[in-house]
Structure 1
C-alpha cells in the first residue's frame, strides 16, 4: 500500500487492507451459470454457403445499399445536405455577406440576456 493511500484512509486503513485481502470470489456454480447465459446470447454461426454466395445483381443489391445507408429517411437527409452544399458553393460571396451582416441590431448579441459584467463575474 502506498503512503499516500494510507494517509488518506487514516485510522480505517487496517480495516480496508483486511477487506482487500479477503475479497469474496464468485462460486464455480455461479460462474458456470453466467457462462451458459453468455453463450446463449451469442448469435449462431451463419452457414458457410451464405458467406461465400456470389454478389447479388439488380434490384436486390440496390435494396441492400439502401438498407446500409439507413433507409429512405437517411437517403433524403443525405440528398438535402448535398443540395445545400452545392447551393452554398455556388452562391456568390456578396450574397452571403448580406445575409450574414455584422450589424449589431440584427445580431444575436443584441438579445443576449447576460451582459459583459455578468460574464466578467463568472470568470469567462
Structure 2
C-alpha cells in the first residue's frame, strides 16, 4: 500500500521540477552592481608605498613643508647665524668648531694621480 501523503509529495515535487526558477529583477540588479564594483576595483591601481606615506603625513603640501623645514635646519646647522653661535657658546660654555673639509683636502689631487 502506498501512503496518500507520499503521493501528494511526489505530485508536488513533480510540479516543482517543471517550473524554472527566475530570479527577481532586484536580485539581478544587485548582482550586476556588485560585479561592476569588483571590476572597477580591480581596474584601479593599488597605491604605492610612497602614495601611502604622503597620505599618512597629509599629502604633498605637508611634504613640501617637511622639505622646507629640513633644508632650513640643514642651512642653520652648516652656516649658523651669529646669534645662534653666541647662544650655543653661552649654553655650552665654549665654542666648538669642526671642519668637515679643509681647503687642502678638497684641492689635493696627489693621492689620486699615478705618478
Shorter-chain TM-score above 0.5: no
The TM-score with structure 1 as length reference comes to 0.28
Q: Which has the larger radius of gyration?
A: 2
Relative to the length of structure 2, the TM-score reads 0.30
